[in-house]
């Protein structure tokens, strides 16, 4: 492997919210963090596709600030401890994310290449994608922007298309880009398939960082200027890089396809049949999942009798389906979604309605993730609330106090080290402790297994903002208080 090939830096874009896969995917825990197509999260699968250090550098991950600890933990689970995690203070679409990554790469290596990848796509045959990347290296090294077009298997209306030229470029296996086409209607999509000239736009790009920045200066100077200032004003926060918020917010919000790829003369496309899908709907998940004899995809706690062609997923609730066809039913602890498969692209309409009505389920999950683990409200009543709390091995909550509530902790399993004012108490399974109103306290897990406990809160006000952090190992000074 040559030194030039080692200049490929994967850039994993992880800022999306995936509302079309609601209610499983929500703003607080979007689809790229979920194990939807395998036992690993989609982010983890994406990172593994570019984990060969003979070909790829450590990845740059462009992430929403609220997901930073979960992303870091999921990468650590794979043994990836050298990723550069860049935090976007606000979402500004893929052009700003790509510009930020290119600026970082240029400072490391002026001849470096970046490979843009969405964190929430599925690639069923990653070796074929790697082969296409290798084939395209000479084109990228020569200053071209390489797009990876997926050979279509059906006249899909949910994808964008790229029309390629009939003849290869000077680099075997790559073709000039004739035009981009947005999501077509069914008849148009069928004509594209019949012509053989069109490929699905996978939104995977191999770019020479320096050349890309020069094109941005010509085609999207406002984006480039904002990103330059955001990086100049960035600061380190533990293992993360926080972009300057005011500067980054000045960037226009525009996709890289519109800002650059549809206007540049440097774009070429490499076809691949790597089994790519953007998993943009429940029916897309149904299409790639295993089916039973009646063509149903069954996930979780599900029983189906005389059901056909359905996607049924039980996450914490039993789904019982009888005599139904072509439905999507997804049950989470707080929501049950029911829709026809041919309407699942419109799930976002439900989210918009819930958001307009101020319903928490539009954006928040019942399970609330924190850098130390997660908590979940089990029951809320008059002046009391019951929660389940899970603390990861070696993790600890902030040192804190409350003005309006007392707490009672009962250890279900694991070991808890509790600070209560000036004392420390070690608790094991079936042991408990009372934390009176106003006492300074902290919970930590000194063991090697997850700690699970039940918390009973009592008092006149039980909101999450009744937390005064005195000390926090995660430096969450600008976050909303919550353990």
Digit-coded pLDDT (tens) for 373-398: 999 999 999 999 999 999 999 999 99
DSSP letter for 90, please: S
Task: Identify the burial level of 42 via C-beta atoms within 10 angstroms of its C-beta, where 0-12 means exposed, 13-18 middle and 19 or more buried.
Answer: buried
Mean pLDDT confidence for 21-39: 94
Report d(CA 389, CA 451) in Å as an integer.
Answer: 8
> Would you state the pLDDT for residue 1?
42
Residue 5 above 70 pLDDT?
no
Mean pLDDT confidence for 93-114: 95
End-to-end CA gap in the chain: 48
Report d(CA 248, CA 278) in Å as an integer.
Answer: 27
Mean pLDDT confidence for 308-324: 96
Edge-to-edge strand ranges of the sheet holding 384-391: 367-370, 373-381, 384-391, 451-458, 406-413, 432-435
166: confidence class by pLDDT, cuts 50, 70, 90: confident
Report d(CA 427, CA 418) in Å as an integer.
Answer: 8
477: confidence class by pLDDT, cuts 50, 70, 90: low
Report d(CA 419, CA 428) in Å as an integer.
Answer: 14
Residue 6 above 70 pLDDT?
no
Residue 49 above 70 pLDDT?
yes
> Would you state the pLDDT for residue 4?
45
Mean pLDDT confidence for 183-211: 93
Report d(CA 119, CA 42) in Å as an integer.
Answer: 6
Digit-coded pLDDT (tens) for 396-431: 999 999 999 999 999 999 999 999 999 999 999 999
Mean pLDDT confidence for 147-151: 95
> Would you state the pLDDT for residue 483?
60
| DSSP H stretches of helix in 332-482 | 347-356
Q: Which residues, in sequence order, are bridge partners of residue 9? A: 114
Residue 480 above 60 pLDDT?
no
Peptide bond into 23 cis (omega under 30): yes
pTM here? 0.89
Residue 262 above 80 pLDDT?
yes
Where do the domains of the chain lie, and which CATH numbers do they carry? 5-277 (3.90.550.10), 283-360 (no CATH), 367-471 (2.60.120.10)
Residue 476 above 90 pLDDT?
no
């Amino acid at each position: 492997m040559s030194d030039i090939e080692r200049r490929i830096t994967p850039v994993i874009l992880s800022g999306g919210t995936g509302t079309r896969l609601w209610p499983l995917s929500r703003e607080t825990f979007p689809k790229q963090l979920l194990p939807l197509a395998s036992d690993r999260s989609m982010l983890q699968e994406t990172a593994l596709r570019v984990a060969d250090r003979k070909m790829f550098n450590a990845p740059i991950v462009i992430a929403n600030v609220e997901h930073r600890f979960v992303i870091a933990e999921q990468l650590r689970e794979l043994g990836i401890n050298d990723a550069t995690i860049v935090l976007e203070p606000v979402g500004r679409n893929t052009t700003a994310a790509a510009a930020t990554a290119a600026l970082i790469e240029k400072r490391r290596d002026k001849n470096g290449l970046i490979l843009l990848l969405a964190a929430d796509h599925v690639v069923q045959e990653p070796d074929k994608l790697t082969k296409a990347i290798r084939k395209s290296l000479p084109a990228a090294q020569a200053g071209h922007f390489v797009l990876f077009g997926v050979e279509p298997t059906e006249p899909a209306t949910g994808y964008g298309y790229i029309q390629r030229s009939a003849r290869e470029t000077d680099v075997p296996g790559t073709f000039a880009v004739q035009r981009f086409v947005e999501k077509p209607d069914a008849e148009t999509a069928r004509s594209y398939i019949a012509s053989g000239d069109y490929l699905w736009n996978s939104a995977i790009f191999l770019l020479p960082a320096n050349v890309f920045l020069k094109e941005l200066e010509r085609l999207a100077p406002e984006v480039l200027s904002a990103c330059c200032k955001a990086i100049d004003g960035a600061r380190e926060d533990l293992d993360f890089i926080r972009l300057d918020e005011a500067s980054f917010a000045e960037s226009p919000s525009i996709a890289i396809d519109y800002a650059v790829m549809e206007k540049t003369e440097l774009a070429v496309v490499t076809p691949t049949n790597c089994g790519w899908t953007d998993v943009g709907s429940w029916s897309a998940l149904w299409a790639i999942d295993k089916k039973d004899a009646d063509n149903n995809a069954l996930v979780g706690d599900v029983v189906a009798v005389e059901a056909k062609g359905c996607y049924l997923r039980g996450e914490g609730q039993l789904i019982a389906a009888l005599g139904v066809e072509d439905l999507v039913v997804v049950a989470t602890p707080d929501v049950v979604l029911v829709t026809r498969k041919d309407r699942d692209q419109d799930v976002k309409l439900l989210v918009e309605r819930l958001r307009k009505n101020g319903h928490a389920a539009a954006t928040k999950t019942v399970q609330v993730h924190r850098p130390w683990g997660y908590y979940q409200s089990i029951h809320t009543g008059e002046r009391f609330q019951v929660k389940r709390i899970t603390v990861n091995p070696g993790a600890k909550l902030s040192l804190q106090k409350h003005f309006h509530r007392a707490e009672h902790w009962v250890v279900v399993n694991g070991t808890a080290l509790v600070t209560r004012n000036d004392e420390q108490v070690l608790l094991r399974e079936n042991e408990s402790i009372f934390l009176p109103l106003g006492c300074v306290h902290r919970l930590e897990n000194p063991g090697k297994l997850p700690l699970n406990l039940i918390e009973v809160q009592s008092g006149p006000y039980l909101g999450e903002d009744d937390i005064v952090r005195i000390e926090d190992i995660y430096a969450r000074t600008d976050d909303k208080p919550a353990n």
